[in-house]
């Protein structure tokens, strides 16, 4: 399957689960069922038969080599993640989930996702000073772009009928924090395949907002995030400087001086 990127020819070979950039295979790492033991709704799901099943593949710096200077100039990385459609003990297949470190003024690095194929729900969760959590479930389809806002832990959940293929742009210099999520027994919500959404009992007070992915006014929707980044890396300053990101009129925008 050709992925919707023009500046590099990204081709995903579904049978072998291989990703090629201009014909060259991109190495990947995998997340297996056994690595999810702390974060599942059904903690008894893992057994000797399924522990090595692969839930998702992470193709880091996919196609970045071709435009290496424009990516390295701003410490930005482009990744592709392919999430299986698997029954994770009654849950939709999801990523392990993580937080990013603080970069400036108490704000953590944000991240930008784009759904290339399939259907996603992004679970976003932020801990408030009083210990309560603000939660968001953002539903996104192919072509949608979603901000993981500063200080929000985030999880990708494959709620579609086939594979979920998503891309992200993110600062390349930090390590993500997976431990905070594991210590809480997973994310704040479990999305079950039977349609139920269950609140994780380790999260005491939660406020939940559901939404569909909104149009981000500062992005060009005729282009993929890879293509827009190559043409206009200055549109993505907010990935390194979260203070450029603003919540305005019910959607994310960026300060005009970012341009």
Instruction: Name, in order, each residue with C-beta under 8 angstroms of 140's C-beta and a sequence gap of 6 or more.
Output: 113, 115, 119, 120, 121, 122, 146, 212, 213
Q: Which of residues 168-207 bind Fe ion (CB under 5 A)?
A: none
Q: Which of residues 206-235 bind Fe ion (CB under 5 A)?
A: none
Give the integer Cα–Cα distance in Å for 125 and 180.
Answer: 12
Nearer to Fe ion, 111 or 166 (CB): 111
Interaction between residue 166 and Fe ion (CB under 5 A)? no
Nearer to Fe ion, 46 or 148 (CB): 148
Q: Of the ranges 16-24, 105-113, 134-142, 188-196, which one interacts with Fe ion (CB under 5 A)?
A: 105-113
Q: Rounded to whole angstroms, what are the CA distances from 83 to 86, 102, 257?
A: 9, 27, 37
Q: Of the ranges 19-27, 42-50, 109-117, 207-215, which one interacts with Fe ion (CB under 5 A)?
A: 109-117
Handedness of CA 156, 161, 162, 168 (dihedral sign): negative
Taking phi over 0 as left and psi of -120 to 50 as alpha, with beta for the rest, 229 belongs to alpha
Nearer to Fe ion, 111 or 228 (CB): 111
Q: Of the ranges 3-11, 107-115, 120-128, 205-213, which one interacts with Fe ion (CB under 5 A)?
A: 107-115
* N-to-C CA span, the chain: 34
> Which letter does DSSP use for residue 205 in this model?
S
Nearer to Fe ion, 106 or 195 (CB): 106
Nearer to Fe ion, 111 or 144 (CB): 111
Q: Which of residues 59-98 bind Fe ion (CB under 5 A)?
A: none
Interaction between residue 111 and Fe ion (CB under 5 A)? yes
Residues that bind Fe ion (CB under 5 A): 111
């Amino acid at each position: 399957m050709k992925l919707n990127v023009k500046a590099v020819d990204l081709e995903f070979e579904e049978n072998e689960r291989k990703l090629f950039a201009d014909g060259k295979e991109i190495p990947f790492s995998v997340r297996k069922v056994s690595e999810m033991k702390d974060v599942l709704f059904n903690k008894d799901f893992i057994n000797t038969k399924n522990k090595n099943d692969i839930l998702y593949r992470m193709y880091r710096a996919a196609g970045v080599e071709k435009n290496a200077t424009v990516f390295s100039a701003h410490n930005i990385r482009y990744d592709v993640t392919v999430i299986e459609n698997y029954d994770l003990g009654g849950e939709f297949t999801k990523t392990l989930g993580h937080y990013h470190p603080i970069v400036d003024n108490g704000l953590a690095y944000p991240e930008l996702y784009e759904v290339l194929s399939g259907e996603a729900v992004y679970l976003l969760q932020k801990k408030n000073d009083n210990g309560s959590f603000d939660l968001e479930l953002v539903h996104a389809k192919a072509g949608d772009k979603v901000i993981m806002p500063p200080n929000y832990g985030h999880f990708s959940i494959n709620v579609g009928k086939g594979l979920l293929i998503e891309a992200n742009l993110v600062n390349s210099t930090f390590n993500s924090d997976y431990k905070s999520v594991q210590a809480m027994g997973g994310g704040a919500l479990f999305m079950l395949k039977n349609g139920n959404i269950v609140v994780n009992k380790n999260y005491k007070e939660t406020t939940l907002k559901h939404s569909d992915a909104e149009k981000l006014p500062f992005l060009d929707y005729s282009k993929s995030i890879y293509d827009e980044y190559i043409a206009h890396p200055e549109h993505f300053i907010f990935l390194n400087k979260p203070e450029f990101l603003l919540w305005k009129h019910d959607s994310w925008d960026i300060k005009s001086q970012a341009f």
